[in-house]
Structure 1
Amino acid sequence: MKSISVDDLAALGPGVSIIDVREEDEYAEASVPGTRNVPLSRFQQSMGDVPAGKTVYVMCASGGRSSRTTAHLVAEGYDAVNVMGGITEWYRNGHPVTYRANGN
């Protein structure tokens, strides 16, 4: 399975296809700008939300869920790459994160 560091992913610039497989509540708290949320709990039903025909970078909180999802996508014929360390590593390395108010 192919993997990429958060720094190498950031260096690719905008326009790459990144899916975040964290659950909706996790994604609502913080997300990487430009990502698409496809929660792992609904992933099988949401496969149509995964862009076909180009490389897809798969992210989660720390890399576990994205690793499993990447392996599944590769088995289904997608060009998928796991993002090592997920949004946690992305944040730690100083890359932009969008935070949303939780309404409280």
Structure 2
Amino acid sequence: MFGESVPVVDVGSVPPDGYLLDVREDDEWAAGHAPEAVHVPLGRLAERAGEIPKDRQVYVVCRVGGRSAQAVQALNEAGWQAANVAGGMQAWALSGREMVSESGDRPHVA
């Protein structure tokens, strides 16, 4: 769908101190997300893009990778260095990477 224009990295390649941008909806975020991730729903990306640093690599994640690929394409076309996290939060959870929930309940991918 996005071809060569969207760089992709696997979950294991996202460094612990990497800038992880989660573009899922509020309910998905609340159910479970990476502890240090920054939440900007895809629908609000254009209005909040100024909050995203341009001086470092941005790793973008959604549930499985479709929305994050859209975000990566838009960000890269506007001058950011962004990469799509392959498999999204489903792959993140399956790989055993740390997750938290907003409710304090056991985090999960919604």
Structure having the higher strand fraction is 1
Superposed CA RMSD in Å reads 1.5
Is this contact kept in 1: 2:20–2:38, CA < 8 A? yes
| Uncovered stretches (5+) of structure 1, i.e. residues with no partner | none
Task: List 4+ stretches of structure 1 deviating above 4 A.
Answer: none
Alignment match of 1:96 (pick from 98, 106, 109):
98
TM (norm. structure 1) is: 0.89
Q: Are 2:26 and 1:24 equivalent residues in the alignment? A: yes
1:39-78 CA-to-partner distances (Å, cap 9, x unmatched) read 1111111111211111100000110000011011010010
Instruction: State the match for 2:8 in structure 1.
Output: 3
Instruction: State the match for 2:55 in structure 1.
Output: 53
Instruction: State the match for 1:71 in structure 2.
Output: 73
Is this contact kept in 2: 1:29–1:99, CA < 8 A? yes
- Residue identity over aligned pairs, in percent, reads 32
Instruction: State the match for 1:44 in structure 2.
Output: 46
Is this contact kept in 2: 1:18–1:56, CA < 8 A? yes
Give me the whole-angstrom Cα distance separating, in 1, the residues matched to 2:53 and 2:30: 21
Is this contact kept in 1: 2:21–2:59, CA < 8 A? yes
Give me the whole-angstrom Cα distance separating, in 1, the residues matched to 2:60 and 2:76: 11
State the 1:100 CA deviation: 2.8
Give me the whole-angstrom Cα distance separating, in 2, the residues matched to 1:52 and 1:58: 14
State the aligned residue count: 100
